[in-house]
Structure 1
Amino acid sequence: MNIACLTFTHRGFELAERLQGSYQGRVEVFAKETYKDELPRIFEEFEGVVFVASTGIAVRLSAPFLKGKTKDPAIVVVDDMGRYAISLVSGHLGGANALAQEIAELLDCQPIITTASDARKIESIDLFAQKHHLVIADMLDAKLITGMMVDGRPIRLDSEIPVTLDYTHLSDDEYDGCIYVTSQRHVESNVPCCVLHPKTLHVGLGCRRGKTAKEIMDAITQVFQEENLCLSSIRSIATTEIKQEEPGILEAVNRLGAELRIFTHSQIRSVQDRFVRSEFVERTIGVSAVSEPCAYLAGGDVIVGKIAMHGVTVAVARETP
C-alpha cells in the first residue's frame, strides 16, 4: 500500500520520518507548508492516507474527497505524541484497520479499531468477500447481514464454492439471515440476505469477423439474463487463436474486467468431439466448434451449451470445486 503522510508539527514530522524509514511500502510526507495544493492528488493516487494530527483535522480535510466505502482510501490518524494509531475511514475494504495495526507496531503505539465486528472478532461480510475474491452485489445488504452477525443472530451460509466464514452462529436449520455465494443473478430468499458473486464462470466465445464490442456484449448479456447468471462472476472470455486480435472481443473483455484465454486449434481438436459439430465452422477455420470447446477448456463444466445470435456464439462453463 502506498501512503501519503500529512504532518503539521515538528514532532509530527519526526514521526512521519520514522514511518517513512520503517514502512515496507512507499511513504510520501507532506508538511503543513505544502499539503493544501496536493490534497486532490493525495486522495486520487494513494491507497492510504495517514494524518499525524488530531482526528478533527483529519475529518475536515478528508471529507470533501470521500466517495464511499468501496472507493475511499484507508485513512489513519496518529496523534503527534505517537501514542495512538486510529483507524478512521475504510477500515475493512480500504484496509485502514490493518494499516493502523501495522503503524502501531512500527511506532510502538496503541492501535485503535472501533468497527463493531472487529471488536467482537467477527469476520464482516466485506472482509469475507475480500478473502475469497467475491463481488458484493449490494453493499447495503452486506451491511445489514454484518449488523445481524454483530447482534449474534443465526445466519445461514449457502455457497456453490468451498469457503470458510469465521462466525460462531452459522446454522442450516433456523436462521434469521442468509449469505449466498453464487453465480446466479437473482436469488429467492424468505429472510434478509446478502449475495456474493464468485469469479467462477468462463465464457466460450465465437464470432464472425468484424463483430463490435456492443454486439458481443449484447449476446453475452442476453444469455446471462436468460440463464439467471451474473456478469460479475465472469472470470474469463475464451476463444480460438485466430480471434485473439479481434477488436470487438478485446473491447468486450476489457469492459467485463475479465481475463482473455486463447486456445490453439490443437487444444480445441482434442475436445471438440464432445460437442455438436458445425461443418461450416470446420470449413472456415479448421475446427468443428469454438464456443463450447473453449468454455470447457477454460472452466471444465459446461453449464450453458452453445447459443448463437446474430453472428456471435456463446457457451458458459463453471469451475468445479
Structure 2
Amino acid sequence: MYAVVAITKHGVTIARQIGEQLPGARVYYASKFARGDEEEKGIHLFEGNVRLLLPSLFVTYRGLILIISLGAVVRMIAPLLKDKKTDPAVVVIDDKGEHVISVLSGHLGGANELTREVAQLLHAHPVITTASDVQKTIAVDLFGRSFGWVWESEDKLTPVSAAVVNEQHVAIIQESGERNWWRYDTPLPSNIRVYASIADALAAKPDAALVVTHRLLSKNEEAILQNGVLYRPKVLVLGVGCNRGTSAEEIEAVIMETLKELQFSWKSVKAICTIDLKKDEQGLLKVVQKYGWEFICYSPAQLNQVEIEQPSETVFRYTGAYGVSEPAAKLYSGADTLALVKKKSGNVTISVALLQEEKRQCAEW
C-alpha cells in the first residue's frame, strides 16, 4: 500500500489522480482543500502540519508519494530513517507534476520502480540517480529478485555493487534459475562476463562475482565468494508423502537431512507436492508455512498419469495412487529424471526434482 500526500492546491489534484490510477494508493491532504467527496472516495483529510503525520505513515506504508518540495521532505524524513532493508520507498513529485523523483529505498524498497510507474501515469519525467539504473547495468541487490531469488549472505553486496558500477571485471556463473534476467534493450556491459563454471571464473581472476546456484559450494569453489554474492533461485521441488499425524519436526528434519545429502540449499526450495489426501496434514502445513513454500496437492488420477520408477501396490491400496512423492515431484517440476527418486525415512517419503526451464517460463506468464 502507498500513501499519497499533498499540501497544496495543485498537489491535491495530482494526488487525487494518482489515487484513482495507482492500485493500492491511499490519498492524504490538508482539510482546507476538501472538495466534499473525500469520504466517498476514501480520501483522508488531516489538520495541522504534515510533519506530524509522516511518522505514522512511514511505519504503516510500503511507500510514500509526497507532492512536497524535495528539501522539505529530506528534513522531515531524516529523523525517521532506520535501515535500507526496512525503510519504505519515498518518492517526491513537484507541484506541477513534471518530475517524479526517487528519494529513498530505490532498490530494496522499490522506490525506483514506483517512480517509473507514477511518472508514466502522470506523463512526467522520472528522476532516478542510482548508478546501476543510470548506467543500465546489474543492480546487485535486486538481481533475480523478481523471480524470487534470495541471497545466501548480504555481506558482499556493497563491494560487489561497487565493482559492477565502476566497470571492474565481474563474473557471472549461473547453474540454475531463470535465464532471462537481463531486461535492458542493450548488450550486457563488457565488464560483466558469463562463465560456464566456477572453475572457469576462478581461472579468469575476476574482481567480483555473482553466482546463481541451488548447490552447496565445495571448499575450493567458495574462493569465488571472497568478493562475490551467492544467489539461491527457487528451483527445487520436493515430493513428500507421510503417515497420518507425522509431526512437522520429523518432516522438516527429513527434508533438511535429504537436501544436505544431495548438497542442495534449502533456500532454493520452491514447493512441496503431495497427494490431495494430505491437503489437511498439519505437519506438512506447518512446514510450508514456516518457510513460505508453495503447497501443491494432486489427485490419485493425476499422479497415476506419471510414469515412475518405483510403483507400489501397497501405496495404491491405501491412496489409490501407485506413488506419491515421485510422481508429485515430476508433475510439478516437469522433470523426466529426478535428483532423488525416492527415499523413505521414518514416517516420511521424499523425492527431489529440479524445476525445468519451460515450467519456470509458464509460471512467469
**Which TM class, normalised by the smaller chain length?**
0.7 to 0.9
CA distance in 2, matches of 1:274, 1:107: 58
Residue 158, structure 1, aligned to residue 173, structure 2? yes
C-alpha deviation, 1:148, in angstroms: 0.8
Change (3 A) 1:144 1:30: farther
Q: CA deviation at 1:246?
A: 0.9
For the pair 1:296 / 2:330, whether they are aligned, the reply is: yes
Q: Is the 8 A contact 2:151 2:232 kept in 1?
A: yes
Q: Aligned partners of 1:279 and 1:22: how far apart in 2?
A: 58
Matches of 1:282 and 1:22 in 2, distance apart? 54
Alpha carbons of structure 1 residues 270 and 110: separation in structure 2 relative to 1, 3 Å: closer
Partner residue, 1:316 = 352
TM-score, normalised with respect to structure 1: 0.85
Seen in structure 2, the aligned counterparts of structure 1 residues 227 and 67 have a Cα distance that, compared at 3 Å, is farther
Q: Is the contact made by 2:164 and 2:192 (CA closer than 8 Å) also made in structure 1? A: no
Give 1:292 deviation, angstroms: 1.9
CA contact (8 A) 2:4 2:25 kept: no
Structure 2 counterpart of 1:163, one-letter code: N
Paired residues of 1:4 and 1:30 also in contact (CA < 8 A): no
Report whether the alignment pairs 1:114 with 2:149: no
Counterparts of 1:17 and 1:268 in 2: how far apart (Å)?
A: 52
Is the deviation greater in 155-164 or in 20-29? 20-29
Distance 1:163 1:140, change over 3 A: farther
Deviation of the 1:9 alpha carbon: 4.0
Partner residue, 2:37: none
Mapped pair 1:53 → 2:68: yes
Residue 221 in 1 paired to residue 238 in 2?
no
Q: Structure 1 residues 114 and 317 mapped into 2: Cα distance closer, same or farther (>3 Å)? A: same
- The match for 2:27 is 28
Mapping 1:142-221, distance limit 5 Å: 142-159=157-174, 160-161=176-177, 162-165=179-182, 167-168=188-189, 169-171=191-193, 172=195, 174=204, 175-186=206-217, 188-191=221-224, 192-221=227-256
Partners in 1 of 2:77 and 2:263 — Cα distance?
Answer: 41
Counterpart in the other structure of 1:133: 148
Q: How many residues get paired?
A: 319
Match of 1:241 among 276, 286, 292: 276
What RMSD, in angstroms, separates the aligned Cα atoms of the two structures? Answer: 2.9
Q: What is the deviation of 1:298? A: 1.8
Contact 2:16 2:27 in 1 (8 A): no
The alignment status of 1:268 with 2:303, answered yes or no, reads yes
Whole-angstrom distance in 2 between the partners of 1:28 and 1:71: 22
Taking structure 2 as the reference length, the TM-score comes to 0.76
CA deviation after TM superposition for structure 1 residue 11, in Å: 4.7
1:75 equivalent among 78, 90, 95:
90
| Structure 2: stretches of 5+ with no match in the other structure | 31-45, 196-200, 358-365
For 1:122 and 1:37, locate their aligned partners in 2 and report how far apart those are by CA, in whole Å.
39
Q: Deviation of residue 10 (structure 1)?
A: 4.3
Secondary structure at the counterpart of residue 152 of structure 1: coil
- Stretches of structure 1 that go unaligned for 5 or more consecutive residues are none
